[in-house]
Amino acid sequence: MLHLLKIDLKKMTSYRTFWVICGIYFFTLIVGAASGMEFLKALSRLIEGFGQQINITRIPLYHFPDVWQNLAWSGGLLKMGLAIMVVVSITNEYSYRTIRQNIIDGMSREEFLLSKVYTNLLLSSISMASLFLIASVTGLIYSPELDFPYGFTGISFYPAYFLEVFAFLSFALMLGIFVNRSGLTIILLLFSYLIELIIKENIDNYLPSIIPFFPLESIMSLVPMPFARYVFMEIQDSVNWGTVAIASVWTFLFNYFAYLKLKKSDI
């Protein structure tokens, strides 16, 4: 496993685009996650009366335990950046035809796919660890009082966030393996939300019960949007294990479809 991961990392670590995309992604993730208060200030400047209606300093954005879900959800918005990186990584292998040479050199098709999947796992883990670190630090800074174990409520959103990122990267990898061309794959990836939304809206009238089973819907629902609680609404503040099960099945299927496609195609 480590060997395959090393092979894929060797391909990427001398590739400037990889560092640029990853740099932008992790910079935005880490700095963005740490700048929540600045966002609120900017928001209060922009929207007249926002500051008066709701006192921004009283919004417990970074207080334990709110910070866990707040940051896990916000971080999830950025996963597209990482997914584009994954698309570039896999479609390069097709456009340079290096996938062919890798297999000629003695990789099996399974191993080739696994090397990409392991990189996805690594990127998802680093995302989760970064976000967890920022949440812990900001939580310690901003929380008026530390009350554990109550403060840990919602920490399970981190494994859920990990699954969210990994599931989406698996989806991007599969699209790349089916489409092979980077531009087209990225457009498909961007449009996939819209396409699923259109289907969902149409189906809503007939079969609303199947909507939670849609792939991107299930991925998005892993960490539900938390901010509605600040306008005194009820929110889902714990991980729904049914959603985890659905998203896990989709993640498995994405990788399995990618495997089947690789297995039967001439490269």
Partner 1 sequence: METVLSTNKLTKNFGKIRAVNQLDLEVKRGQVFGMLGPNGSGKTTTLGMLMGVVNPSSGSFSWFGEPATHHTRKKIGAVLEHPIFYPYLSGQKNLELNAMIKGADPAHISKVLETVELADRKDDKYKTYSLGMKQRLAIASALVSDPIILILDEPTNGLDPMGIAEIREIIKRIAADGKTIILASHLLDEVQKVCTHFAVLKRGTLMHIGPVDEVGKGEEIVEVQAYHDDLGVLLQEFVGSATIRKENGIFEVMMKDGFHSKDLNRFLFDKGIVASYLHTRKKSLEKQFLEILADHKS
> Which of 103, 184, 211, 225 forms a contact with partner 1 (CB under 8 A)?
103
Whether the bond into 215 is cis, omega within 30 of 0: no
Q: How many CA atoms lie within 13 A of 184 on its CB side?
A: 10
**Per-residue tokens: 261:** 């496609």
For the beta carbon of residue 190, count every other beta carbon within 10 angstroms: 12
259 touches partner 1 (CB under 8 A): no
Name the residue with tokens 């909507």: 211
Name the residue with tokens 């449009």: 191
125 touches partner 1 (CB under 8 A): no
Looking at the Cβ atoms of 16 and 58, the one nearer to partner 1 is 16
96 touches partner 1 (CB under 8 A): yes
- Please tell me the distance from the alpha carbon of residue 80 to that of residue 170, in angstroms, as a whole number: 12
Instruction: Output helix, strand, coil percentages for the chain, rounded to the nearest 5.
Output: 80, 0, 20
Region binding partner 1 by CB under 8 A among candidate stretches 75-83, 102-110, 166-174, 193-201: 102-110
> Which of 46, 55, 58, 105 forms a contact with partner 1 (CB under 8 A)?
105
- Please tell me the distance from the alpha carbon of residue 95 to that of residue 262, in angstroms, as a whole number: 15
Angle 79-95/2-13 helices, nearest 10 degrees? 90
Region binding partner 1 by CB under 8 A among candidate stretches 8-16, 25-33, 128-136, 189-197: 8-16
> Which of 1, 77, 100, 213 forms a contact with partner 1 (CB under 8 A)?
100
> Which of 16, 52, 145, 232 forms a contact with partner 1 (CB under 8 A)?
16
1 touches partner 1 (CB under 8 A): no
> Which of 45, 50, 77, 98 forms a contact with partner 1 (CB under 8 A)?
98
Binding site for partner 1 (CB under 8 A): 3, 6-7, 10-11, 14-16, 96-98, 100-108, 111, 264-267
